[in-house]
Amino acid sequence: MHDPSFLLFDIRKPDIDVWHDEPGGHDTFTVCGHPEGNRLLWAIRHWRHLRIRFWPYLHVKRWIAERCDGCGRRFAWKEARFSYQSTDKVWHDPCMSLRHVRGQLDDLTGYVLGTANDNARWRAERRLSHVEKADSKETR
């Protein structure tokens, strides 16, 4: 499935995005079609499907409301946030790195104890093969 949204206007000076969302979550351009000719007139006809993002407001809102899922602390102003596409959770850079390392350790621990599922076993074996290759290059 494709994304039901597309960027209709990108207004640089006040930093506003205007998005068109296809009704019912359909793929882009399948219900409403392409905006041919004057985009403004097309947008007026489809005003119910528009979503406006005012970035200065969103930056302040995120700075006030968002907290790191790893440590629970707030983010500094304009501090980078890290996330995955499938979640709304965000992490600081060190917290995201720690999450990644903990996942690797969990996979390796499960592999050693024999409790790892197929995915964790594959990740652990792949990690161990990379470590072996690095060790063999260093001994040369």
* Mean pLDDT in order along the chain per 10 residues (140 residues): 83 92 87 87 91 92 92 92 89 94 93 94 92 81
**What are the residues facing 50 on neighbouring strands?**
20
What pLDDT does 139 receive? 73
What pLDDT does 109 receive? 94
What pLDDT does 1 receive? 53
- Other CB atoms within 10 Å distance of the CB of residue 7: 10
Domain boundaries, the chain: 5-65, 71-140
What pLDDT does 140 receive? 67
pTM for the whole structure = 0.60
**Residue tagged 């499938």 (tokens):** 86
**Helices and strands (H, E) in the chain, number of each type:** 4, 3
What pLDDT does 30 receive? 86
What pLDDT does 33 receive? 86
Question: Residue 129 region, left (φ>0) first, then alpha (ψ -120 to 50), else beta?
Answer: alpha
- Other CB atoms within 10 Å distance of the CB of residue 37: 8
